[in-house]
Structures are given as structure tokens and as C-alpha cells.
Amino acid sequence: KKYIDECGPANFFGIKGKTYVTPKSESILPSITNKSLQQLAEYLGYTVERRQVPFEELAEFSETAECGTAAVITPIKKIVDPVAGKEFTYGDGKNPGPVCTELFTKYTAIQFGEAEDPFGWTEVVEL
């Protein structure tokens, strides 16, 4: 219980200032969605850190979320550790934070062809 690895069936990330932080772990599967969000975050001017995330650092994030193919980005309102007696709350508890909202909006706009794809993620297939 020292480091955060993942969030249920999805990858985890946290926002601290202008930094996108996501766990580097040998025990979780690499996520194309998380890799894409890291690339997008850098493009938007964020620093990306892929490293071990100690449990205590949860208190320093302004936003946290899970990401993956099915979840895209699902903001996390609260993380509770009943054993340690700790609880971490993010945002206003009702709405996604501004960084998660921006990442989701831009990511899905590229995905659906509504915005330019500066990364070469998409390819038009004509039938």
C-alpha cells in the first residue's frame, strides 16, 4: 500500500498544477488511452511525469481520474482508504475539474474527427 498503480480496471492519473502524473509500474498493462492523454497534455503545455506515485501524494492533486478505452476519462471525486483512515476529495464533488474536462473534450474531438489531429492518431478509411 505504498504506491498507486491503477484504478480498478483502468489507468490512474492525477493533476498537480501544470503537471500530469501517472504511475510507472511493471504490474499494470500499458494503456493506449493514457499514452495518448500524456501526449495531448504535453501538447497543451503540461509537464508529464510517469513515475511511482506514493499514496501520500494523493493529497497534493487537484484532480484525479481513471482512463482507458471504455472510460476515456472518468474523474474521481473521492478516494477512501478505510484501513489508513484517510479520505481524499477532489473538485466540487459534482463536476469534472477543468483539466479533465479540457483533456476529454480535445481527445474526443480528435477521435471523432471534429478537431485537427496533430499526432497522426487517426486515419480516414474509405470504403
For position 81, what pLDDT does the model report? 87
Q: Are 94 and 37 in contact (CB under 8 A)?
A: no
Tens digit of pLDDT for each residue in 58-114? 999 999 999 998 879 999 999 998 888 999 999 887 788 999 999 999 999 999 999
Residue 41: the pLDDT is: 98
Indicate if the pLDDT at residue 23 is higher than 80: yes
C-alpha to C-alpha distances, 77 to 45, 72, 80, nearest whole angstrom: 24, 16, 10
**CATH superfamily of this structure's domain 3-111:** D-amino Acid Aminotransferase, subunit A, domain 2 (3.20.10.10)
Q: What pLDDT digit, counting tens, does each position of 36-51 carry?
A: 999 999 999 999 999 9
1 has pLDDT over 90: no
Whether pTM exceeds 0.85: yes
- Distance in Å from the first CA to the final CA of the chain: 51
Cβ contact 33:11 at 8 Å = yes
